[in-house]
Amino acid sequence: QLPLQESGPRLVKPSETLSLTCTVSGGSISSSDYYWGWVRQPPGKGLDWIGNVYYSGSTFYNPSLKSRVTLSIDTSKNQFTLKLSSVTAADTAVYYCARHKEAFSPSGSGSLDAFFDFWGQGTLVTVSS
């Protein structure tokens, strides 16, 4: 098991910046084998990838959110952080942090295995005035 825990304000005003932190227990966030990501789920809807951050600080964002998202990582605290700017009601969702594994498939086909193997419990963030 690898507990992950999201923390941050549950209520954000429109046009402001949503900020969440994920604290990882039971394992080092500095491992070169994994990325650390954020996924959100609007109420009653499906899953949507926000972005991933690597221990080195390299970041990868969903193109649809790239202009508003900033991910960062603090290996000394075993934490990584999401900032989403200029939020609207459409950003109301449960936000999950998770560990992301990416590796070439052992089959040798060149296919990429990519999956989230451990997830936080999620936190509902509501955008409202």
Binding positions for other proteins, rule: CB under 8 A: 39, 46-49, 51-52, 60-63, 96, 100, 102, 105-106, 110-122
User: Minimum CB separation from other proteins for residue 20, in Å?
Assistant: 14
In whole angstroms, give the CA distance from residue 24 to residue 55: 13
| Closer to other proteins by Cβ: residue 14 or 47 | 47
User: Minimum CB separation from other proteins for residue 41, in Å?
Assistant: 8
| 82, 50 contact by CB (below 8 A) | yes
| Closer to other proteins by Cβ: residue 16 or 48 | 48
From 9, 4, 11, 22, select the one nearest 81 (Cα to Cα). 22
Three-state secondary-structure class, residue 123: strand
User: Minimum CB separation from other proteins for residue 77, in Å?
Assistant: 22
Residue type for 1, please? Q
From 126, 116, 104, select the one nearest 38 (Cα to Cα). 116
| Closer to other proteins by Cβ: residue 13 or 45 | 45
User: Minimum CB separation from other proteins for residue 33, in Å?
Assistant: 14
